Amino acid sequence: MLTMDELEPRPEPPEEPSLFSGNYEEKLNAWNFRRLLAGQYDVVVTNPPYMAVSNTHITDEMWTSAALKIDRGIGKAADTGMGEATRQEAVPKRAPFQPHKGKRRKPGTGCISRINDHLWEGRFSPVWPDGVKRPRNIYAHDRETCEQRLAELIAQTKAEIAAEKARRAGERHPA
Average pLDDT over residues 111-119: 91
Mean pLDDT of the chain: 76
Same domain? 136 vs 82: no
The range of the structural domain enclosing residue 52 comes to 4-90
**Under 8 Å between Cβ of 32 and 11:** no
pTM of the model: 0.41
User: What does the pLDDT average to over 110-115?
Assistant: 91
Q: How far is CA 20 from CA 13, 24, 70, 105, 119, in A?
A: 11, 8, 39, 62, 75
Structural domain contains residue 24: yes
* pLDDT tens for each residue of 120-149: 999 999 999 989 999 999 999 999 999 999
Say if residue 80 is in the same domain as residue 39.
yes
Note whether 75 and 12 are same-domain residues.
yes
Tell me whether residue 95 is in a domain: no
Closest CA to 153 of 114, 118, 108: 108
Number of domains in the chain: 2
The pLDDT of residue 58 is 65
Residue 103 lies in a domain: no
Helix (H) or strand (E) holding 33: helix 22-40
Integer Cα distance of 9 and 19 in angstroms: 24
For residue range 63-92, what is the model confidence (pLDDT) as tens digits? 777 777 776 666 555 555 555 555 555 566
Rounded-to-integer distance, Cα 153 and Cα 146, Å: 10
Same domain? 136 vs 81: no
